[in-house]
Amino acid sequence: MERHIRSGGRITDKNAKHRMIRKIFSLAVVASTLLAACNGDKKQTATNTTQADIMQAKDLHTQSNADVVIMKHLDLDISVSFDKKQIAGYATWAIDNAKGEKSLKLDTYDLTIDSVWVDGKAGEYKLGDFVTHLGKQLDIPITATTKEVRIKYASGADATALQWLNPQQTHDKKQPFLYTQSESIYARSWIPCADGPGIRFTYSAKVTVPKGLLALMSAENPQQKNDSGIYHFVMDMPVPAYLMALAVGDIQFKEIDARTGVYAEPGMLAKARYEFEDVGKMVSTAEKLYGPYRWGRYDVLVLPPGFPIGGMENPKLTFCTPTIISGDRSLVNLIAHELAHNWSGNLVTNATWNDFWLNEGFTVYFERRLTEAMTDKSYADMLWELGYQDLQKSVDELGRTSKDTHLKLDLTGRDPDDGLTDIAYEKGALLLKLIENNVGREKMDAFLNQYFKEHAFKTITTEQFISYLNTNLIKGDSALAKKIDINAWVYGPGIPENAPRADHERFDKVDAARKGFINGTAPKDLATKDWTTHEWLHFLRKMPKPMTVDHMTALDAQFHFSESGNSEIADQWYVMAIAADYKAAYPAMEAFLSSVGRRKFI
């Protein structure tokens, strides 16, 4: 998932009580309106192991008791009403209460509970008091022999995971659209569940939607609409609640190859299919790096313009923003990131949100290794350098001695979204790059292959990872351990002194061109012909602040930044335009801001 703090902006409202995603959803709606005007037994063993780890991990962001009552399987039977803006129906949990607990405790957020059944008989329930960030605990009395709990419920108006779009807020402007965003702790707002990253379960679902619309989930998906509006789904590999996903809309499908494809609104489908031409090759390349892709199909759903994040790694079906549809395939490294999550995050998951770097740091490292394999080292080096710049900004904004710049976080009493910063992503990735530099790529890759294989469909804490690293890679080598100094990275602030830096060769050439321009070289005489998005970003980021209007005018006349179809370049340019009071860019900037909901751009 895309981080909150990236180049150009940080969400800083720490006093708001509503979820961060909810705020972004609201901004997205405003922007859109303006524009309109595996084997069951084997998998269950993995699930049991995962949930046992919760006791050690002490996940403070769930009020469930899934550490003692094992959540085996969820069966959903729900209906989607666009008129009511509501999901309603039944959630049936298959459980294992081997420890004889007297109640099943689940997470809810703004859910209305109608009734419950315990092993087919009417049961009792109690909703606890509202807890900030966490919602209300649902307490259902059970016995030692209870195998199944069925809950009739409906989502509320403040469901933090749900975004309802009217037709005018979609790309094609013909049908309404619904999508969910369950990470980090929003699944509880549309399903009564044990909502923690270390709690895995399989699921099946029957979803009824208005006729003429297609429903998709993080599961085995249909590839075309049916006449009934009733769709059935199966996810037979255990996943945590934050990877539960649903989308409903006027959606069509195009195949890329035998196991990959793209979903989008009809008016976006051809562009998306062109942009993602290499996704099948990307999956195969990822497998060569770190082992088999374990999830069957890998498809991508391009969401309407208001989607607030770059991408979300829902198993089998990545959700992504249309802002990466640039027409030249220059921004598809975002797909590399979400694909990499199918190893780091989806397959091996952080036990709690305090361990979030284990999801995202590993994924950024994997993404860059994958990008290097798909392109070359010099290209990946640019991503490493831009990431380092992002990390420096985040550390400066959070404070160089802030505990929020540690990899291992303490989010007690806080919204776990506070941890979605460049620290987890870039500092975490740099630690892995440092380890690679010290042990060599061959050993590093063997270690990561072993790590993904041995921890597949399980959860892991930071401390468990450090122990695993010491046992399987450091192996008592005190000199190597000292070179890495992992405690400084994990439990210390800021950017450690031994942080690696990438080769600057391509950016050195960009810097020379930038300095030439500042010293009087005409834009038409700059050697920019073969520049990629990342070279342009570096060129713009390093310009003096603020630029003069004359300099902005000259650059715009030659390179047409104000009309750029590349969202990353456009965003950087508009930030510069504001600082320079370059009014010629304002109409294009207004149109841009009115057409996107991605939080890094608004």
d(CA 152, CA 101): 22
Active-site residue, 425 included: yes
Helix 462-469 to helix 357-374 angle (10° resolution) is 50
Instruction: Quote the tokens at residue 77.
Output: 């039977």
What distance in Å separates the CA atoms of residue 526 and residue 486, rounded to the nearest whole number?
Answer: 43
Q: Where are the beta strands (DSSP E) in 360-456?
A: none
- Which residue among 365, 425, 451, 574 is the active-site one? 425
8: left (phi over 0), alpha (psi -120 to 50) or beta: left
**DSSP state letters, 239-304:** EEGGG--EEEES-EEEEEETTEEEEE-HHHHHHHHHHTTTHHHHHHHHHHHH----SS-EEEEEPP
Hey, how many other C-beta atoms are within 10 angstroms of the C-beta on 544? 12
Q: Which two tokens stand for residue 457?
A: 């469909």
φ/ψ region of 119 (left if φ > 0, alpha if ψ in -120 to 50, else beta) reads left
| Burial of residue 120, with CB atoms counted within 10 A of its CB: 0-12 exposed, 13-18 middle, 19 or more buried | exposed
Amino acid 278 reads D
Question: What's the rounded Cα separation, in Å, for the pair 423 and 494?
Answer: 9
The residue with tokens 């990275």 is: 489
Q: How would you classify the pairing of strands 86-96 and 148-154? A: antiparallel
User: Can you tell me whether residue 79 is helix, strand or coil?
Assistant: strand
Rounded to whole angstroms, the Cα distance separating 573 from 556 reads 9
| Contact residues for 318 (Cβ-Cβ < 8 A; gap 6+) | 298, 299, 300, 301, 311, 312, 335, 338, 339
Catalytic (active site) residue 338: yes
Largest Cα–Cα distance in the chain? 82
Q: Of 439, 38, 404, whose CA–CA distance to 238 is shortest? A: 38
Residue 227 phi/psi, 5° resolution? -80, -20
One-letter amino acid at 405 equals T
The helix or strand, by DSSP H or E, that contains position 206, with its residue range, turns out to be strand 200-208
**Which residues neighbour 471 within 8 Å (Cβ) at sequence distance 6 or greater?**
none
Inter-residue contact 61 to 196 (CB < 8 Å)? yes
What are the backbone angles phi and psi of residue 3, rounded to the nearest 5°?
-75, 165
Please state at what angle helix 533-541 crosses helix 377-398, rounded to 10 degrees. 40
Question: Pick the catalytic residue: 183, 275, 313, 338?
Answer: 338
Sequence length of the chain is: 602
Residues labelled as active-site residues = 338, 425
